Homo-oligomer: A and B are copies of this chain.
């Protein structure tokens, strides 16, 4: 009996450690070559499966696969493409099964966030709904940290570290200059509807920085905010503001709605920093500077968290091990055993419980005035940013990031028309 092949794809926004999960999946598959055949990766995610664009990872060297651990973003390409329900678009599922059959795929590893967990869940039901036997395992990934059940999502810890370190450094800068120049510095961070990344910016008050955080979870109150900024500047000479891209007014509108939407129908956010800067300028007249970290934060492999990197790899590894143990419709998770010292283990969650559930910040992670984080939040966050997992650098001073060959296996089917 020939071995079943496996399919792996990266989905949604990429992170600085999603390739470490890929590395975990591929290296563990290679170690189990007596049980798993080829590991085929979807070119640009799930659309690579639909389009039968399947990367033959067996043509990559062990060294290049190992180098994935140190390379940010999605080495096989990712996409924003959410499979519709079976009733709405049966032909996509039929096509998937056609491709799986043609390439003898029995394992489906999907590396993504909440929307991807939903897609993975649907694939995990194909045996029951359409009679094709496939084991679907979801490997969690999202800088937004908004997947349920798992203690943390790979990618988040590294963004949190980047934001905490960058906000601290910029605050030192502003502190130096505040006497005659900039008094208010505004840093816009990602996180969509969840304030996890913004919360990481709140850590810097442990290091003496007067910081205010604007969370999506707290209705924005203009007058209360301006009063808080004024108090910080009058007391400390300056103020750092960390604002989530998802910060919103009491009526639910975003502070910076751009009016465009992505493929999942989500509002495309960005640009709240200058809005907040202008507010401060108008109300208080303080000189300001603002930064929008955007993709820099989620691709910053140069300052990745060691604990995040380790977990990203471990979850990829666990996904393969779960598949080999016969599991289906499951997601390996991180279970925290203790915070001090930080200890964790791999657990698991049923995809039915994960798909389309968005985890927001617990309200007891936000302090009473709504502009900062609690001790409980700090205890949660610090372990996730522990350790520095530096990439190697070349002799010119640039990081050694790998670009794979990404050679496709021969197509066996006709073209698929995307609708």
A180-B81, A289-B294, A382-B396 known; A72-B172 Cβ under 8 A: yes
A175-B73, A263-B180, A293-B296 known; A301-B398 Cβ under 8 A: no
Q: Which residues of B contact A399 (CB under 8 A)?
A: 165, 168-169
- Interface flag for A85 (CB, 8 Å): no
- The answer on a CB contact under 8 Å between B299 and A173 is yes
**Bound form: Cα–Cα A8–B399 in Å:** 36
Q: Which residues of B contact A45 (CB under 8 A)?
A: 180
Give A220-232 as 1s and 0s: 1 = Cβ < 8 Å from B's Cβ atoms: 0000000000000
- The answer on a CB contact under 8 Å between A398 and B172 is no
- Interface flag for A135 (CB, 8 Å): no
Q: Which residues of B contact A305 (CB under 8 A)?
A: 397
- The answer on a CB contact under 8 Å between B262 and A181 is yes
* Residues of A bordering B, CB below 8 Å: 10, 13-14, 16, 44-45, 47, 71-75, 77-81, 161, 164-166, 168-170, 172-177, 179-182, 185, 187, 203, 206-208, 262-263, 270-271, 273-274, 289-296, 298-303, 305, 382, 385-388, 390, 393, 395-399, 401, 403
Q: Which residues of B contact A176 (CB under 8 A)?
A: 10, 14, 73-75, 77-78
- The answer on a CB contact under 8 Å between B390 and A385 is no
Most buried by B among A44, A292, A296: A296
Chosen A-B contacts, 11 in total, with CB atoms closer than 8 Å, are: A13-B177, A44-B179, A74-B177, A75-B176, A77-B176, A79-B181, A165-B302, A169-B295, A169-B399, A302-B303, A390-B390
Partner among B78, B169, B273, B299 whose Cβ is within 8 Å of the Cβ of A302: B169
**Bound form: Cα–Cα A271–B390 in Å:** 31
Q: Which residues of B contact A16 (CB under 8 A)?
A: 169
Chain B nearest Cβ from A419, distance in angstroms: 14
- The answer on a CB contact under 8 Å between B79 and A164 is no
- The answer on a CB contact under 8 Å between A181 and B291 is no
Stoichiometry, as copies per complex, reads 2
**Bound form: Cα–Cα A385–B10 in Å:** 32
* Extra A-B contacts (19), CB below 8 Å, given A170-B296, A291-B294: A13-B177, A14-B177, A77-B175, A80-B180, A80-B181, A169-B299, A169-B302, A169-B399, A173-B298, A180-B263, A182-B295, A206-B398, A291-B292, A291-B293, A291-B296, A293-B296, A386-B397, A387-B397, A390-B390
Cβ-closest 4 pairs across A and B = A74-B176, A73-B172, A291-B294, A385-B397
Partner among B290, B300, B388 whose Cβ is within 8 Å of the Cβ of A294: B290
**Bound form: Cα–Cα A77–B206 in Å:** 21
- With CB as the reference atom, state the residue of chain B lying closest to A169: B299
A291-B292, A305-B397, A397-B387 known; A73-B169 Cβ under 8 A: yes
- The answer on a CB contact under 8 Å between A181 and B263 is yes
- The answer on a CB contact under 8 Å between B207 and A169 is no
**Bound form: Cα–Cα A16–B176 in Å:** 12
**Bound form: Cα–Cα A185–B179 in Å:** 35
- With CB as the reference atom, state the residue of chain B lying closest to A307: B397
- The answer on a CB contact under 8 Å between B290 and A292 is yes
Q: Which residues of B contact A271 (CB under 8 A)?
A: 274
Chain B nearest Cβ from A197, distance in angstroms: 15
- With CB as the reference atom, state the residue of chain B lying closest to A262: B181
- The answer on a CB contact under 8 Å between B177 and A401 is no
Most buried by B among A44, A161, A187, A396: A396
Chain B nearest Cβ from A194, distance in angstroms: 19
Chain B nearest Cβ from A162, distance in angstroms: 9
Q: Which residues of B contact A274 (CB under 8 A)?
A: 271, 274
Q: Which residues of B contact A172 (CB under 8 A)?
A: 71-73, 299, 401
- The answer on a CB contact under 8 Å between A291 and B302 is no
- The answer on a CB contact under 8 Å between A396 and B388 is no
Chain B nearest Cβ from A275, distance in angstroms: 11
- The answer on a CB contact under 8 Å between A396 and B386 is yes
